[in-house]
Chains A and B, each alone.
Chain A
Amino acid sequence: MIDTIVVLPATPLFLAEYRGRVDPIEDISAAAQSALQRLRRPCRIVVVTTADVGRDRRRTPLGARVFYELWGSSPVAGVSAVEEVVVASDAMSEACRDVADRLWVEAGDATGVPTCVVLMADGTAARSKSAPGYFDARAVTVDQSLVSAIREARGGPLLALDEELCTELLMRGRAALMVMGGLLARQGWECELLLEFDPFGVQYVVAVIRRSDIAG
């Protein structure tokens, strides 16, 4: 049974290899750690990331590396296993829904231990003139829709994200978010939005979403 979905930013600013003397995302780190600490124990974790884009891909996708960095700095006792699912960056809505269905079935088959799905994904990266994608007025609208869908735990808007537009707005976690859309569409959920923040023109979200039938 999937009982919790956690949304975390996939920014490489979390990675030790890129760390300066000052942590530029202290608040975001704290929120991400807090989200992981809220996992129900015992559980198994499935980390869902979107495959990297660009020519300099590494063997482990960025989102997974970010997760392990966060996990390593503050491990949670009682987690029986961590598994990874990498979704193609160009996966369309239907394919993402299929991944969600498969996760749901596999979690149902996993006897006894509930599953937590950790989504490594961000919103657009075109929210200001200093953003990686410069300012694009459409970014605000897309992110508003994204954040409201997460806050209200509604899968429909996530599954309806426009792939082409998201690519233009450098939303790198779009496919993972669509997988989440597929999970949210299956039943009722309640969201605790811990952070929405765009300090560098990139939309970050930290949220913990629980099944409404067992939330509380």
Chain B
Amino acid sequence: MDLRIGKQTIPPSGRLVMAIVNRTPDSFFDSGAAWDMDDALDRVDQVVEEGADILDIGGVKAGPGNDVSVAEEIRRVVPFVERVRARYPDVAISVDTWRAEVARAACQAGCDLLNDTWGGVDPQLFEVASEFDAALVCAHTGGQAVRTRPFRVEYEDLMTDVTTSLRRLAERAEGHGVARDKIIVDPAHDFGKNTWHSLEVTRHLDQIVQLGWPVLVSVSNKDFIGESLGRPVPERCLGTLAATVVTAWLGARIHRVHDVAQAKEVLEMTSVIAGDLPPLRAVRGLA
């Protein structure tokens, strides 16, 4: 199934990079590097130059931290979306939010995709996506409360829980009028999951792909990579790239990342290996 995001129609063989742009002072990876408006625009310029297909703008740190009101989240995100929309009319813009009020304001400012990482906790979000014909990410959190960390979470059967939950969310979105080719599912690594869980959804990603909706993965620099390799946050790039390749090979179509240039290159190589893209320039043995 083709996927539509903003002005883009992406065939099933397409592998997209979604660049993380945090308009937060406290996100785990960049610690507020794009908190300032100018710094954030610089970050956007950089990732667009590096080939990002989608910009994912977030105004609230995913993990625990200071409360951020709806008004404050809108203040952080919406004017920035307007600036980015004006600067890059053709680049797809995503907003990472679980709140319908924020989503509505973002869509009015030009947002194309709502990245609801917290799994549909605000039922109005589906209606906003439908009203603005925006694409929507449906994520599995195992019922984890917004902005909390998993604590002794267990699943009787993780993959059944993930696939059942994602199917239910996606069908709910369709029921609210979100176009089928604008629905994306995300197993949400580390959300409501320990490292073993995140590794299992990575290993069995094909089961999520088989649901039929395009799959987004957000593995970039996450704790399951750090714990797998014994690496602190700044040293998780290679692990991230390995997980990116594996998930791409198993069928993930959107990869939400911090390091865009590296992700683009490994995804390009994956596409070439998969036969979805010819080599750039093949001469060896053929001259």
Which residues does A use to contact B, with CB under 8 Å?
Answer: 11-13, 18-22, 24, 125, 131-132, 199-202
B263-287 toward A: CB 8 Å interface, digit per residue (1/0)? 0000000000000011111110111
With A18-B286, A21-B281, A125-B287 given, name 15 new contacts (CB 8 A). Answer: A11-B286, A13-B283, A13-B286, A13-B287, A20-B278, A20-B280, A20-B281, A20-B282, A21-B279, A24-B282, A24-B283, A132-B285, A199-B287, A200-B283, A202-B287
Most chain A CB within 10 A, of B277, B279, B287, is at B287
Q: Are A132 and B282 in contact (CB under 8 A)?
A: no
A21 touches B278 (CB 8 A): yes
Using CB atoms, name the residue of chain B closest to A15: B286
Residues of B within 8 Å of A201, CB to CB, are 287
Which of chain B's residues have a CB closer than 8 A to the CB of A199?
287
Closest residue of chain A to B287 (Cβ to Cβ) is: A200
Distance (whole angstroms) from the CB of A29 to the closest CB of chain B: 14
Nearest-neighbor residue (CB-CB) of A170 within chain B: B287
5 residue pairs from A and B, CB less than 8 Å apart: A11-B286, A12-B286, A20-B282, A24-B282, A200-B283
Inter-chain CA distance A199–B287, complex, in Å, is 9
Which residues of B sit under 8 angstroms from A200, Cβ to Cβ?
283, 287
Does A19 lie within 8 Å of B278, measured CB to CB? yes
- The answer on a CB contact under 8 Å between A11 and B279 is no
How many residues does chain B have at the interface if contact means C-beta atoms less than 8 Å apart? 10
Distance A125 CA – B284 CA, assembled complex (angstroms): 13
Tally of contacts, chain A with chain B, CB under 8 A: 34
For the residues of B in contact with A, the DSSP-based class is loop
* A44 CB, nearest partner CB in chain B, Å: 30
Taken together as a complex, chains A and B put the C-alpha atoms of A159 and B279 apart, in Å, by 40
Q: Is the CB of A132 within 8 A of B287?
A: yes
The residues in B between 219 and 256 inclusive whose CB is less than 8 angstroms from any CB of A are none
CB closest residue in chain B, given A198: B287
How many angstroms between the C-alpha atoms of A200 and B281 in the bound complex? Answer: 13
- How distant is the Cα of A24 from the Cα of B281 in the complex, in angstroms? 6
CA distance A199 to B283 in the complex (A): 10
Q: How far is the CB of B282 from chain A (nearest CB, A)?
A: 4
- In the assembled complex, the CB of A135 is this many whole angstroms from the nearest CB of chain B, namely 14
Nearest CB of chain B from residue A123's CB, rounded to whole Å: 12
Interface centre among B277, B278, B279, B282 (most CB of A within 10 A): B282
Task: Please tell me if the beta carbons of B283 and A22 are within 8 angstroms of each other in the complex.
Answer: no
What 5 A-B pairs have minimum CB-CB distances, sorted nearest first? A200-B287, A20-B282, A22-B281, A20-B279, A202-B287
Task: Give Cα distance in the complex from A121 to B281, angstroms.
Answer: 23
Q: Which residues of B contact A11 (CB under 8 A)?
A: 286-287
Closest to A131 in B: B287
Q: Which residue of B lies closest to A9 (CB)?
A: B287
| Chain A residues with CB under 8 A of B279 | 20-21
Given the complex of chains A and B, what is the CA–CA distance between A68 and B281 in angstroms?
Answer: 22
List B contacts of A132 (CB < 8 A). 285, 287
**For residue B277, which residues in chain A have a CB less than 8 angstroms away from its CB?**
21
**What residues of A have a CB within 8 angstroms of the CB of B280 in the complex?**
20-22
Least CB distance from A14 to B in Å reads: 9
Q: Which residue of A lies closest to B283 (CB)?
A: A24
Which residues on A sit within 8 Å (CB–CB) of B286? 11-13, 18
Residues of B within 8 A of A22 (CB): 280-281
Residues of A within 8 A of B281 (CB): 20-22, 24
Q: In whole angstroms, how far apart are the Cα atoms of A119 and B281 in the complex?
A: 27
| 0/1 string, B106-130, CB within 8 A of A gives 1 | 0000000000000000000000000
Give the CA-CA distance A20 to B280 in the complex, in Å: 5
What's the Cα separation between A11 and B283 when bound, in Å?
10
**With the chains together, A24 CA to B239 CA distance in Å?**
34
A199 to B282, CA, bound (A): 13
Determine how close the nearest CB of chain B comes to the CB of A5; give it in whole angstroms: 24
- Residue among A19, A20, A125, A132 with max Cβ neighbours from chain B (10 Å): A20
Q: Across the interface, which residues of A come within 8 angstroms of B282, CB to CB?
A: 18-20, 24
Q: Across the interface, which residues of A come within 8 angstroms of B278, CB to CB?
A: 19-21
A18 to B277, CA, bound (A): 12
With A and B bound together, what is the CA distance between A125 and B287 in angstroms? 8
Q: How far is the CA of A202 from the CA of B279 in the complex (A)?
A: 21
Closest Cβ of chain A to B274, distance in Å, is 15
**Chain A nearest Cβ from B15, distance in angstroms:** 15
Q: A18 to chain B: which residues have CB within 8 Å?
A: 282, 286
For the complex, what is the distance from the CA of A125 to the CA of B283, rounded to whole Å? 13
- Nearest Cβ distance between residue A9 and chain B, in whole angstroms? 9
* Distance in angstroms between the alpha carbons of A200 and B282 in the assembled complex: 12
Residues of the B chain whose Cβ atoms lie less than 8 Å from the Cβ of A131 = 287
Give A106 Cβ to nearest chain B Cβ, in Å: 33
